[in-house]
Amino acid sequence: MVNITFPDGNVRQYEEGVSGLDIAKSLSNSLAKKVLSVKVNNEVWDANRTIMTDATVQLLTWRDTEGKTTFWHSSAHLLAEALQALYPGVKFTIGPAIDNGFYYDIDLGEGRTIRTEDFPKIEKKMLELARQKNTFDRSDISKADALAHYEQLGNEYKTELISGLEDGDITFYKQGGFTDLCKGPHIPHTGLVKAVKLTNVAGAYWRGDEKRNQLTRVYGISFPKASELEEYNRLVEEAKKRDHRKLGAQLKLFAFSEKVGAGLPLWLPKGTKLRQILQDFLMEEQRKQGYEMVMTPHIGKQDLYITSGHFAKYGEDSFQPIQTPKKGEVYLLKPMNCPHHCEIFKTSLWSYRELPKRLAEFGTVYRYEQSGELNGLLRVRGFTQDDAHIFCMPDQLLEEFKKVIDLVMLVFTRLGFGEFTAQISLRDQEDRSKYIGSDENWEKAEQAIIQAAEDKGLKTVIEYGEAAFYGPKLDFMVKDALNRSWQLGTIQVDYNLPERFELEYVGADNQKHRPVMIHRAPFGSMERFISVLIENTAGNFPLWLAPDQAVVLPISEKFIPYANEINERLKQHNYRSTVDIRNEKIGRKIRDASVQKVPYQLVVGEKEVTNQEVAVRRHGEGDRGSVAVDALLEMMAAEM
Which residues belong to the active site? 338, 367, 385, 387, 389, 473, 519
Alpha helices, DSSP H, located in 596-627: 606-611
- Element (DSSP H or E) covering residue 517: strand 516-521
Q: Which CA distances in Å does 200 have to 101, 118, 207, 216, 241?
A: 11, 11, 19, 10, 19
By C-beta, is 4 or 545 nearer to a copy of itself? Answer: 545
Non-local (6+) Cβ contacts of 179 within 8 A are 149, 172, 173
Q: What's the min distance (Å) between Cβ of 496 and a copy of itself?
A: 17
Beta pairing, strands 2-5 & 55-60: parallel
Kindly give the interhelix angle for 143-153 and 156-163, rounded to the nearest 10 degrees: 160
By C-beta, is 27 or 283 nearer to a copy of itself? Answer: 283
Q: What's the min distance (Å) between Cβ of 566 and a copy of itself?
A: 18
Interacting residue ranges for a copy of itself, rule: CB under 8 A: 252, 255, 257, 259-261, 264-269, 271-273, 275-276, 292-301, 303-304, 307, 316-320, 322-326, 329, 331, 333, 339-340, 343-344, 346-348, 353, 359, 364, 366, 368, 370-371, 382, 581-582
By C-beta, is 213 or 318 nearer to a copy of itself? Answer: 318
The one-letter amino acid code at 185 reads P
Please spell the DSSP secondary structure of 433-502, one letter per residue.
TT--S-HHHHHHHHHHHHHHHHHTT--EEEEET-SBTTB-EEEEEEE-TTS-EEEEEEEEEESHHHHHTT
By C-beta, is 116 or 370 nearer to a copy of itself? Answer: 370
By C-beta, is 321 or 416 nearer to a copy of itself? Answer: 321
Backbone angles phi, psi at 170, to 5 degrees: -110, 135
Q: What's the min distance (Å) between Cβ of 452 and a copy of itself?
A: 26
Q: What's the min distance (Å) between Cβ of 180 and a copy of itself?
A: 34
By C-beta, is 287 or 558 nearer to a copy of itself? Answer: 287
Backbone angles phi, psi at 305, to 5 degrees: -85, -15
CA atoms within 13 A on the CB side of 185: 23
Q: What gap in Å lies between CA 313 and CA 310, rounded to an integer? A: 5
Q: Which is it for the CA torsion 504, 506, 510, 513, positive or negative?
A: negative
By C-beta, is 182 or 533 nearer to a copy of itself? Answer: 533
Q: What gap in Å lies between CA 566 and CA 563, rounded to an integer? A: 5
Kindly give the interhelix angle for 560-572 and 629-639, rounded to the nearest 10 degrees: 40
Q: What's the min distance (Å) between Cβ of 328 and a copy of itself?
A: 13
Of 491, 515, 495, 395, the closest CA to residue 438 belongs to 495
What stretches of 163-253 adopt beta strand conformation (E)? Answer: 171-175, 178-181, 195-205, 214-223
Kindly give the interhelix angle for 269-288 and 526-537, rounded to the nearest 10 degrees: 110
Q: What's the min distance (Å) between Cβ of 248 and a copy of itself?
A: 11
Q: What's the min distance (Å) between Cβ of 343 and a copy of itself?
A: 4
By C-beta, is 190 or 567 nearer to a copy of itself? Answer: 567
By C-beta, is 20 or 515 nearer to a copy of itself? Answer: 515
By C-beta, is 200 or 348 nearer to a copy of itself? Answer: 348
End-to-end Cα, the chain, rounded Å: 67
Partners of 396 in the β-ladder:
none
- Element (DSSP H or E) covering residue 122: helix 119-130
- Provide Rg for the chain, Cα atoms: 30
Q: Are 451 and 398 in contact (CB under 8 A)?
A: yes
For the chain, the farthest-separated pair of C-alpha atoms sits apart, in whole angstroms, at 93
Q: What's the min distance (Å) between Cβ of 279 and a copy of itself?
A: 10
Q: What's the min distance (Å) between Cβ of 549 and a copy of itself?
A: 15
Q: What's the min distance (Å) between Cβ of 315 and a copy of itself?
A: 9
Q: Are 504 and 512 in contact (CB under 8 A)?
A: yes
Measured torsion, CA atoms of residues 11, 13, 15, 21, in degrees rounded to the nearest 10: -40
